[in-house]
Chain A
Amino acid sequence: MSSSELDTLIGTRWKKPPFIRRVWLRSALVLGGFLYLVLAIASVEVNWSRVYEGLERGAAFVAAFTTPDFTTRAADIREGMLESIVMTVAASVVGILISIPIGLGAARNLAPLPVYLVCRGIIAVSRALQEIIVAILLVAIFGFGPLAGFLTLSFATIGFLSKLLAEDIESMDRAQAEAVRATGARWTQWINYGVQPQFMPRLIGLSMYRLDINFRESAILGLVGAGGIGATLNTAFDRYEFDTAAAILILIIVIVMALEYLSGIVRSRVQ
């Protein structure tokens, strides 16, 4: 055997071969990363005395979670929560309904090119713009209130769902769809029998997931005047009413958990 190779190796130190083998690339990455971190950290101004003072308030906030105050602003909280839920539900329904045709139109194997481009464009714009930015613009256009929030969430839902649906349809089992077409079915029949059975379960699962996201997002839209619990929460923080803020946050967490639980059940049912 290669005992000469062994003789040369015995007594030499062993080092794990580096992850990136090219020396220059490795050193450039390490150096660059290090330099960036130093610069980045140096450029963050931290007012440590302010932070130190804040620790006390932080502790007060954590303590507030043990004594959440649901009563003092009960009316505000109830109105805000209800508005959040209403916006979430309405926007999810409308968003899902609109995202189905757009998703179909954005699937290259179903739609003709012009339709495809338009649908993809809508999806791209919706995904690139943050909910909160859309909300700002819509508030500027439609005025304050839940209508702006509702439109924001619907628009975001469309971008999210249509893209996933389109990808699903594009990658779905062609053979199966083809088999239906081979029987001479009409286009609507083809959608109904060849495409729909494959993506319905996915659509339901994704919709539940999006409902969950929409609720979480609805909680911040109030910050820019687009309705929902966010305004109440913002006021609570402004006035350092941590007990009320804690109460609202607990409500949000509980509702999100409930929605996750629900969507787990629904998803296991449809699959």
Chain B
Amino acid sequence: MLRLEKLTKTYKTGDQALKQVDLEVPQGQVLALIGPSGAGKSTLIRCINRLVEPTGGAAWLGGVNLTALGQRALRRERRRMGMIFQEYALVERLTVMENVLSGRLGYVGFWRSFLRRFPQSDVDEAYRLLDRVGLLHMADKRADELSGGQRQRVGICRALIQNPALLLVDEPTASLDPKTSRQIMRLIVELCRERDLAAIINIHDVALAQMFVMRVIGLELGRIVFDGAPDALTPDVLTQIYGEEDWEATIQTVEEEEEEAGTA
């Protein structure tokens, strides 16, 4: 469903953030993108919805080449790609409901959005999503009154109300405590399963990734150096991605945690 062909990004500063990345993501697959800081994970995600313009290669969503689109067509395709950000990126001075409904902006005209008169079906969907993530009672609170975990849930609702085919998730848990991190990851994965969405999740926490996803991509210096099931992440592989370190500990805790999660 999503296919990247030799996707390349060279920043104006000369940094080659992506070097001819090839990747294929089928419908409904949730994959984690891991790699050291500066590997190009954020760049990859942002090149797909062109918040960052790729300098070479192509990205196909369904039958559409995203990299070849004009502004108007790009906006139309962006509706099919929901994005979730590390620092939530909610508009802080708007209410929760407005933040969620802003996910529909691609579908409604300017004046409707100006007057906040979204179609009733959108409003109902927003209520349903907020209920699904347990924030219905917060609908009229301002976004800056929420806690980090609550904000990220609103961010998830905003991405989902777009009715996307693909979720682009950039470090959803990096600013959250371990427990909330897991809850958020679980929520994302569950929602993807419910709606048969594909998702690319950037994540630093290898253990967390292993717990929830079915496929892991390892990125290093703009190249894919690993592509496989979470179990295949051996210390050797991690060394290849991140460099020399004692990886046993990381992987062990993963197994323990998994047991823990299984019994809970």
Q: Which residues of A contact B (CB under 8 A)?
A: 1-3, 5-6, 9-11, 13-17
Cβ contact within 8 Å between A17 and B95: yes
User: Provided the pairs A6-B127, A6-B131, A9-B127 are in contact, do residues A14 and B118 lie with their beta carbons within 8 angstroms?
Assistant: yes
Taking the complex as formed, is B193 at the interface, i.e. its CB lies under 8 A from any CB of chain A?
no
* Chain B residues, CB < 8 A from A5: 131, 136-137
Residues of chain B within 8 A (CB-CB) of A15 are 116
Which of chain A's residues has its CB closest to B130's CB?
A6
Residue B50 lies at the interface, judged by CB distance under 8 Å to chain A: no
B97 at interface, CB cutoff 8 A = yes
Q: Report if B98 contacts A (CB, 8 A).
A: yes
A15 to chain B: closest residue by CB:
B116
Q: Is the CB of A1 within 8 A of B137?
A: no
- Whole-angstrom distance between the alpha carbons of A3 and B134 in the complex? 10
CB-CB under 8 A for A16 and B127, given A2-B136, A9-B136, A11-B120 = no
Q: Contact at B128–A17, with CB atoms within 8 Å?
A: no
Number of residues on chain B facing chain A (CB within 8 A):
17
Q: Can you list 16 A-B pairs with a CB-CB distance of less than 8 A?
A: A1-B136, A2-B131, A3-B131, A5-B131, A5-B136, A6-B127, A10-B128, A13-B120, A14-B97, A14-B116, A14-B126, A16-B95, A16-B97, A16-B98, A17-B95, A17-B140
A6 in complex: contacting residue of B98, B123, B136, CB < 8 Å: B136
Bound Cα distance A15, B140 (Å): 9
Residue of A nearest to B141 (CB): A17
Task: Name the B residues within 8 Å of A10 (CB-CB).
Answer: 124, 127-128
- CB contacts (< 8 Å) of A9 on chain B: these are 127, 136
Report how far A62 CA is from B134 CA in the complex, Å: 62
Q: Give the residues in chain A near B127, CB-CB below 8 Å.
A: 6, 9-10
Residue of B nearest to A3 (CB): B131
Q: Please indicate which of the listed interface residues B98, B124, B137 has the most CB atoms of chain A within 10 Å of its own CB.
A: B124
- A7 CB, min distance to chain B CBs, angstroms: 10
Residues of B contacting A2 with CB < 8 Å? 131, 136-137
Which one of B118, B124, B126, B127 has the greatest number of beta carbons of chain A within 10 Å? B127
Residues of A within 8 A of B116 (CB): 14-16
In the complex the two chains form, what is the Cα distance from A3 to B116 in whole Å? 25
Q: Given contact pairs A2-B136, A10-B127, A15-B116, enumerate 19 new A-B contacts (beta carbons under 8 Å).
A: A1-B131, A1-B136, A2-B131, A3-B131, A5-B131, A5-B137, A6-B128, A6-B131, A10-B124, A10-B128, A11-B120, A13-B123, A14-B116, A14-B123, A14-B126, A16-B97, A16-B98, A16-B116, A17-B95
